[in-house]
Every structure is written in structure tokens, then in C-alpha cells.
Amino acid sequence: MSWFSFVQIWLAGKLHRDEYGQGTVEYVLLILGVVLFLIVAALALQDVLSGAIAKISSWIGTQNPP
């Protein structure tokens, strides 16, 4: 048995492990991706959002309470 064959067999044994918890990891990565997207979108739209919030605040300030 050559050294290369030994390494291939060793790696195959290490890589063919039980996939317990794989679904959980995929869901966590998906959630992290969505959160990262929302953070980047909020930073990219920061000026638009702050302008909208300022307009809403000024509109609420002009309303009379019941």
C-alpha cells in the first residue's frame, strides 16, 4: 500500500462521518444570511429611511390629539 492510498483511505474515513445536525447548521446559515442581507439593506437605504422617519414624525406632530 502506497502512502497516497493510505492518505486517501484516511480522508475518506474522516469525510464520511455521520451527518447528524446538518439540517440545523443549514437553517442557522440561512438565518444568518437573511440577517446579513437585512443589515446591508438597512445601511444602503439609511438616507431613504431617515427621510421617511422624519416626514412621519413631522406629520404626527401636526396631528391634534382627540
- Per-residue model confidence as pLDDT tens digits over 9-66: 877 777 766 666 678 888 999 999 999 999 999 899 998 989 999 999 999 988 887 7
Domain of residue 49, residue span: 31-55
Assigned domain for 43 exists: yes
- Give domain status of residue 49, yes or no: yes
Picking from 46, 27, 26, the residue whose alpha carbon sits closest to that of residue 38 is 46
In the predicted structure, residue 1 carries a pLDDT above the cut 70: no
Element (H, E) at 42: helix 22-44
The answer to the question of residue 66 being in a domain is no
pLDDT of residue 58: 92
Residue 2 lies in a domain: no
pTM of the model: 0.50
pLDDT of residue 5: 83
Number of domains forming the structure of the chain: 1
